[in-house]
Chains A and B, each alone.
Chain A
Amino acid sequence: MGLIPNFKTLATRSPWLYRINAGSCNGCDVEMAVTALIPRYDVERLGCQYCGSPKHADIVLISGPLTVRVKDAVLRLYEEIPDPKVTVAVGVCPISGGIFRESYAVLAPIDQYIPIDVNVPGCPPRPQAIIAGVAKAIEIWRERL
């Protein structure tokens, strides 16, 4: 009986990240790529790994204000991620719409369609801020496992 919580603590050391671009300007995506790839901000240290398939993901990073055209694709992609999952909105666009807020082509804020757990505001946020957001997401994920 006591083993299961231990295993859960161990399991939280392996959060795999997946990026969804919901019509982002690519600024936040560049920051996320930087967070993942350059040695200075090594997220692999936390056990994170960027994965190519939504079915392997645990923590979803969403950037972009959810444009009208991309909405269905994003919702489908989100459904394909197996539970338990945690969603992180990266940048101000998914959180509030940011600079695109009152556009006819944009459905922001994204939490009308997808339950968001952690917000990382910034335009774009610093890599450190993204890492801080992922760290918060890991804490939430531990409770959901």
Chain B
Amino acid sequence: MSNQLMILLAVLLFPGGVFALVLGLALKGADRRVAARLQSRVGPPLLQPFFDIIKLGFKRTLVPEVASETVFLYAPLIGVISMVLAAALVPITAVYTPAPAIGNLLVLLYLLMIPGVVLMIAGSASGSPYGAIGFSREMAMMIAYEGPLVLIAAAVAIRTGVGMGGTVSFSLSDIIAYQQTHGSFLLDPVMWPALAAFCFFYPANIGIVPFDIPEAETEVLEGPLLEYSGPTLALFKIMSALKKVVVLNLGIALFLPFAPENWLLALVVWLVKMLVLMLVGVTALRVAIGRMRIDQAFIFFLKWPLLLAVASLAVVVVV
């Protein structure tokens, strides 16, 4: 019973739910502020994403006549729920370990796919032609970047499993425990191709400028989000904030989980790692590079990250 209560608390409060939401929105604010600074602007206040969410709560929701109303309104809710669950799956070193029943890499891979699927559903349910374009682009992007992610996960799992004397270990707690004793995969040359592939993957999954082709506001008017307004749009913003936390935390768990023993220090170190990953991998990238075309991005992902991921899997299996 208490075990279930712990899982519920994990989902609703600490690593998932409220904590992840606040952290995700704060990261977004930091991202916007630093991006403005890099463009020599002042930028919005740090709490701007919170203001945006509150503002959207006051607006009306409009449902287009041609939309399928139920799907249109509930799709973002599915996305938010999946991301709240996913946030509770990923461990934070020395701070939080998920219950063994849920802390599994494979479950996480499935949950990570849901926001993309939700965007596709939302885009097609809205009945807007821009939504349909967003749908097809999102699908192409998912095909392009989910492949490398699975291969990266497999490489990490095999490396851990073999290192611990078994074959494959998809348990996130095991992955972290292995790295705590044998050093992070960041310092392991065998894992470097996988790390490089992940560095390409996470900006794409978060959906920022070079890879945000499905939601490009200048081309397809934010694609699937075009018809959303008010609270439903806020749900999408919440979903993407949670997704940031999940994806960055996944990167930390897979490649750089080193942390001190003290849980408070560990939490601080973890937050610093999140911020660095966000600012270097996302902010600098989106300020520096313009948006790719869908065909460029598709070919890019099928070329470099996939190649790197396959290479890492091969190296891991051979070594």
When A and B assemble into the complex, do they touch directly, with CB atoms less than 8 Å apart?
yes
Interface residues of A, Cβ cutoff 8 Å to B: 7-8, 10-16, 39, 42, 44-45, 47, 49, 51-53, 55-56, 58, 80, 82-84, 145
Is B44 part of the binding interface, using a Cβ–Cβ cutoff of 8 Å?
A: yes
In the complex, the chain A residue whose C-beta lies closest to that of B39 is A39
Is B293 part of the binding interface, using a Cβ–Cβ cutoff of 8 Å?
A: no
Q: How far is the CB of B135 from chain A (nearest CB, A)?
A: 16
Question: For residue B110, which residues in chain A have a CB less than 8 angstroms away from its CB?
Answer: none
Is B45 part of the binding interface, using a Cβ–Cβ cutoff of 8 Å?
A: yes
A49-B52, A84-B58 given; 12 more Cβ-contact pairs under 8 Å? A39-B39, A44-B42, A44-B44, A47-B51, A52-B217, A52-B222, A52-B226, A55-B227, A55-B229, A56-B225, A82-B59, A83-B60
CB pair A56 B229 closer than 8 Å = yes
Interface residues of B, Cβ cutoff 8 Å to A: 32, 36, 39-45, 48, 50-52, 54-55, 57-62, 217-218, 221-222, 225-230, 233
Of the candidates B40, B217, B229, the one having the most CB atoms from chain A within 10 angstroms of its own CB is: B229
Contact of B62 among A42, A51, A80 (CB under 8 A): A80
CB pair A10 B39 closer than 8 Å = no
CB pair B40 A39 closer than 8 Å = yes
Question: For residue A80, which residues in chain B have a CB less than 8 angstroms away from its CB?
Answer: 62
Contact of A14 among B52, B62, B222 (CB under 8 A): B52
Q: How far is the CB of B43 from chain A (nearest CB, A)?
A: 6
On whether A10 and B51 interact (CB within 8 A), knowing A82-B230, A83-B60, the answer reads: yes
CB pair A39 B58 closer than 8 Å = no
CB pair B54 A82 closer than 8 Å = no
On whether A145 and B54 interact (CB within 8 A), knowing A42-B36, A47-B48, the answer reads: no
Question: For residue B225, which residues in chain A have a CB less than 8 angstroms away from its CB?
Answer: 53, 56
CB pair A55 B228 closer than 8 Å = yes
Question: For residue B222, which residues in chain A have a CB less than 8 angstroms away from its CB?
Answer: 51-53, 56
Question: For residue B32, which residues in chain A have a CB less than 8 angstroms away from its CB?
Answer: 44
CB pair A13 B42 closer than 8 Å = no
Question: For residue B61, which residues in chain A have a CB less than 8 angstroms away from its CB?
Answer: 82
Contact of A7 among B40, B41, B52, B54 (CB under 8 A): B54
On whether A84 and B52 interact (CB within 8 A), knowing A42-B42, A44-B43, A55-B228, the answer reads: no
